[in-house]
Every structure is written in C-alpha cells, then in structure tokens.
Structure 1
C-alpha cells in the first residue's frame, strides 16, 4: 500500500527534489498523544521536558534521573521483553535504538510505576541510556520513526493553531505546517527502502560486514518490485556502479543465495544465470549504462 512520503534524513529531501515534488503533502501530521514506544499509555512519568512547538525530544535515564535529549544524540539504550531487560553495549540515536530492540524481538523499555522505575535504574547501573519515551506531537502516517525535521529558518518550528488539524507539506527544501483542509499535490512512497552508497571500494566480504555493522545489511532484491525501486533510486541519483549486493553463490551446490534465502527473482545480464565452474561467486548490480542488470564478480 502506498502512503504519503516519509522523510528519514536530508538525503530523502534531496531525492524527492529530483522528482520535482515541491509543494506536495508529506505524511507528517499533528495528532500524536504521548505513549510509550510499545503503545502503552504513559501513566508514570518522571520527565520535566519543556517542548517547543514543532520540537522533538527523547527521554533517557542519566545517572538515575530522567532527562530529555535531542533524539539524534547517540546513547546506550535498554531493551525489554516480558521480564528480560538488556542494556546495550553500543550507542545509537533514539530511532535506531528502537529499531535495534524491535529487530531483536523486544522494544525500548517502558516504565509504568515507581517500582519498575527503581528496577530499571538498578539494571542501568548509573549509566546514561535511552528509554522508550519520545516527546513529539507530530506523527508519520506509516508510524515511522524519524528525528529529521526541516522547519522554516524564520522560526525553526511550525506555527500551530491548536483548534485546527495540522498537516505538513514540502516546499523549497523546507517542511511547512498547514491546515489539513488545504489543497496540495501528493507524493506517495511504498515500502521503506533506503539505499546508501558507500563510496569506498571494498571486497565483497568487507562490504557485507560493513553494511551489517553500520546499516541494515548489503542490498538484497527479492522481487520485481524491489528491482524497480532500486532502478528508480539509481536512475535519480548521481552515482556510478557497479555495486556489490548481498548476492553470492554456494560453493558446494552452485545456486545463488541472498543473506538468508535462496534467489527466486533474478535480473541477470542477458538472462543467463552464472553457473560453475566458470562463474564468479559474488553478485553486483550495474548502473544505468548496463540497464541495472546483475553480473557475477570476484
């Protein structure tokens, strides 16, 4: 299902600019009620945040005290599931901390009572770490998490009239706060694909490890829809390939696999699947000069 576009970072603004999307609605709307990241209502709160109009802050525990920080700041974080609480070793911004917890079948910790608060403080061992509370009245249509905002320079936040429903448009590189009944063009997106090109040249194994550690993994393409989305992104971007993708050949059986699944859809150059013994064991995708086809390389 396609939704109004979600902005994760400034690169997304640059990307939609290439479509001439200025003057269009974004998927950001003022309607959020404060809840924990897992959806629980906030019935216990030790926060004393003063949120500016259009602002966004995230809650951390710092030396046993609830403290609000800019959500893009990197901190340790605590994940919880049932009676299991885990304090991370790595540091992430709030949204990436949330993503990490959910990837590992949990969520950022929520606190519902003084007893729970004391327990979390004890588990935190006087360190500084994110908990699952974000202070933000604005919410993306797809419930995506983003600390990116680009309000006009004159105020750095939107002018809001509490009695009227507020939505957001994109105009001339800025996000603008408007009444939702205004008429604007629409710009939709489908899925949550984000492609980041690493300009440093690496071996396939090095690229795989880098993307697993720093991002969500090397790019993989599961179907024609994925392929078309990648082509669209590469077509609109000023990057030159080819690029490693998470495609490799089994040395034992000879078939091609992604990170954790076999290849069903493919877009091999000339329509031929590279087979051993003449094939190389790693996959790349070309740029527009070779119609975004796949080839095998070492």
Structure 2
C-alpha cells in the first residue's frame, strides 16, 4: 500500500481509461455462422471465446436465461500451425497427431518434443533477443505461460534450427517445460488463447462440420450453414470470482499474483458487466473489490486512481471517521451495491484477468456468406 500513498501524495494519478474494459456478453439474431460473426464485429464486439470451465458454466446459464436455441461460438476450423510469435514452423521435431477436435501444446520433456493437453500445468521457457529463460518458480497451463512470457520477456520460445534446438535443450537442463507451439485445427476468431476444449461431433448428416455452437452445456461441431443465435462479447478483462475467504490485503495479493489484480469498476458499463456475471454465479458475497479509502485524504480510490463513478448503497459515500476503509460489492440479494467493510473481515473476492491472445499476427477473416443470411 506504500505505492498508493506515494501516488496520492505526489499527485501522479492516471485518469485515462479504455472503454469496454470488463468483458460483457449479449445474444443476437438466429443466423448462419459467418452472419453471426459479422453481427458481432459490426457492433464492435467479437464472437465469444470460452476460456475455462467458469466460462462454460456462465455460458450455459446465460443461454438458458436468454434463448431456447443454440448459440454460435467464435470457433471454426482453419488454424495454421505457427509459433506463438507468428513465425512459420520451418523446423519441427513434433510427433503430435491430432484426433478430431483435439488440441495439444508442445513441451520439451527429457530432451524430446512431446505433446500434452494445453490445460496441463508445466514450467516454461521464454525468449527475448536470442536469450532463453527457463521459468520454474510456478507451473502454468500453456496460455498462462504465454501471458507470463509476453508480460516479462518477449514470447514463449520458438525453435527454428537444430542449433537453436540444442541451445534450448541445454538451457532446459533435462526439465519438462512448454515451448511456443500449439497444435489445433480449430481457431477462436478473436485469437483468444484458450486451453478449454470439449467438442462433440453433431451426429446429424449434412455439410462438413467446421463451426461450433453451444447448447445445454455442450459444444458441438456442426455445419456453418446452420442457423443459431449469435453470441458476442466485448472487453479485454475477464471477471474471476474467487471462492476463498480472505482479508482485503490477502485478496489484493492473491489477485496481483495469480491474475491481473483485484477488480475495479471504472464506469456504469463495468458495473453492468459485474452484475451480469454475478447474477449467474453460485458464490455468495459480499465480494472484496479494489476499493479502498485513503487514510490521508479520506476519499475512495482504485489502486492508482480516484473513484469517479460509484454505486454506494443508498447513494451515500462512507466518510471518515465513521467509515471502514475497504470496499465490497454485494451479491444479487444486495442489488450489487457497494459498502464499506472492515479490511480484516474475510470474504470471497473478484479478480480481473487480462485476456491473452495466441499468434498476434493472425487475422480473423473467415466469412463468405452474406451477413444477412
């Protein structure tokens, strides 16, 4: 918290924010896959990527509350094999052979290229300007390993020659670790990096099954010419509900370490996104958020910025000296309003996690059918 005090005293606040920060969803018209994709794009959104079981559970409840029909996902066959930094695969020692709908990620294991399920947790190797760094302090799934490398270095390591392979093996020192190669015949249109994959082949005969839709908790491989509701999202930050009872400081540290930080709410659109998510959560609040009162000045702050938009219970901002200095957001029983709380109480909490993308050079240009179909 010393950083917060410094920022407050120095006046070094940052008030410039991007719009559509927290991820939010909506369901549109029944249409073919390419039309659904275009519908999302025309509304400055993207077809939805599912990242994990939490996304899967939310999607099932959201669909059930909005439509009786299936919804298109942003998943379609077409992915080319490239390194995560966008380089073509000109050197390859992989023995991976994918089954239908399968996704595998490449690791070095006992000095051998070996494919594993991408959700498996391993150490990993990052590279920057020809320098290789083996990260062993914490095991991650492939996508979170990629996120770490892009945050702290450059990218997961790519290997373009026998010489580079020898250098990677030498640096790996007989460890098992991820490298920057994902094997997947399917691609999420927004290039979101997801290790969640539970595709089921639609048994009905018809056109080639190259698109994915979702109904009753199941992802189906189907023909792209079928008609289902579009399912779109906007925002680059995922909302993560953490069902652990911790103090505010402990929750703050947990989110900083494992995600992108304790969640903060910039504006009414962020508040709506949080409400949309919590309405379909089974976790009972209140939830810690990154809301804290300055002991020095008395006003409320989000990490390194003051609170402009607010949703305080009964419309009253808690003030010193009678207020507690940490903030929570209620669950649906409290209409998702904010209240002050003793920082030493233990509650579940909300983290935010920046979405990581796979090959940043990939483009999403799949559709051929007219978007009005």
TM-score for the superposition, normalised by structure 1: 0.90
Q: Is 2:84 the counterpart of 1:40?
A: no
Q: Is 2:334 the counterpart of 1:290?
A: yes
Alpha-carbon shift at residue 105 of structure 1 (Å): 4.9
Map of 1:170 onto structure 2: 214
Indicate how the Cα distance of structure 1 residues 158 and 43 shifts in structure 2: closer, same or farther if over 3 A, else same.
farther
- Checking the alignment, whether the CA contact within 8 Å between 2:209 and 2:221 is kept in structure 1 is no
Q: C-alpha offsets along residues 16-72 of structure 1, whole Å, 9 cap, x if unaligned?
A: 222325511111011100011111111111111111121111001112221111111
- Checking the alignment, whether the CA contact within 8 Å between 1:25 and 1:168 is kept in structure 2 is yes
Map of 1:134 onto structure 2: 182
- Checking the alignment, whether the CA contact within 8 Å between 1:57 and 1:69 is kept in structure 2 is yes
Q: Is 2:118 the counterpart of 1:61?
A: no
Indicate how the Cα distance of structure 1 residues 25 and 190 shifts in structure 2: closer, same or farther if over 3 A, else same.
same
Query: Which is worse superposed, 31-40 or 114-123?
Result: 114-123
- Checking the alignment, whether the CA contact within 8 Å between 1:54 and 1:158 is kept in structure 2 is no
Indicate how the Cα distance of structure 1 residues 144 and 108 shifts in structure 2: closer, same or farther if over 3 A, else same.
same
Structure 2 residues not aligned, in runs of 5+: 1-43, 343-373
Map of 1:150 onto structure 2: 198
Query: Which is worse superposed, 47-56 or 171-180?
Result: 171-180
Alpha-carbon shift at residue 283 of structure 1 (Å): 0.9
CA RMSD of superposed structures (Å): 2.2
Alpha-carbon shift at residue 114 of structure 1 (Å): 1.7
Aligned residue for 2:273, secondary structure, equals helix
Query: Which is worse superposed, 58-67 or 21-30?
Result: 21-30
Map of 2:371 onto structure 1: none
Map of 1:14 onto structure 2: 57
Map of 2:171 onto structure 1: 123
Which of 93, 97, 101 aligns to 2:145? It is 97
Q: C-alpha offsets along residues 91-137 of structure 1, whole Å, 9 cap, x if unaligned?
A: 01111111222232521111112222222222212211100000001
Indicate how the Cα distance of structure 1 residues 42 and 158 shifts in structure 2: closer, same or farther if over 3 A, else same.
farther
Alpha-carbon shift at residue 250 of structure 1 (Å): 2.2
Which aligned pairs between 1:144-293 and structure 2 lie closer than 5 A? Answer: 144-152=192-200, 164=208, 166-293=210-337
Q: Is 2:46 the counterpart of 1:3?
A: yes
Aligned residue for 2:242, secondary structure, equals coil
- Checking the alignment, whether the CA contact within 8 Å between 1:53 and 1:158 is kept in structure 2 is no
Aligned residue for 1:91, secondary structure, equals strand
State the alpha-carbon separation in 2 of the partners of residues 67 and 251 from structure 1: 54
Give the total of aligned pairs.
Answer: 292
- Checking the alignment, whether the CA contact within 8 Å between 2:126 and 2:153 is kept in structure 1 is no
Q: Is 2:152 the counterpart of 1:108?
A: no
Alpha-carbon shift at residue 192 of structure 1 (Å): 4.5
Map of 2:350 onto structure 1: none
State the alpha-carbon separation in 1 of the partners of residues 209 and 151 from structure 2: 34
Alpha-carbon shift at residue 79 of structure 1 (Å): 1.3
State the alpha-carbon separation in 1 of the partners of residues 306 and 128 from structure 2: 31
TM-score for the superposition, normalised by structure 2: 0.73
State the alpha-carbon separation in 1 of the partners of residues 297 and 133 from structure 2: 40
Aligned residue for 2:244, secondary structure, equals coil
Alpha-carbon shift at residue 164 of structure 1 (Å): 4.9
State the alpha-carbon separation in 2 of the partners of residues 26 and 208 from structure 1: 33
State the alpha-carbon separation in 2 of the partners of residues 29 and 193 from structure 1: 23
State the alpha-carbon separation in 2 of the partners of residues 16 and 77 from structure 1: 31
- Checking the alignment, whether the CA contact within 8 Å between 1:71 and 1:147 is kept in structure 2 is yes
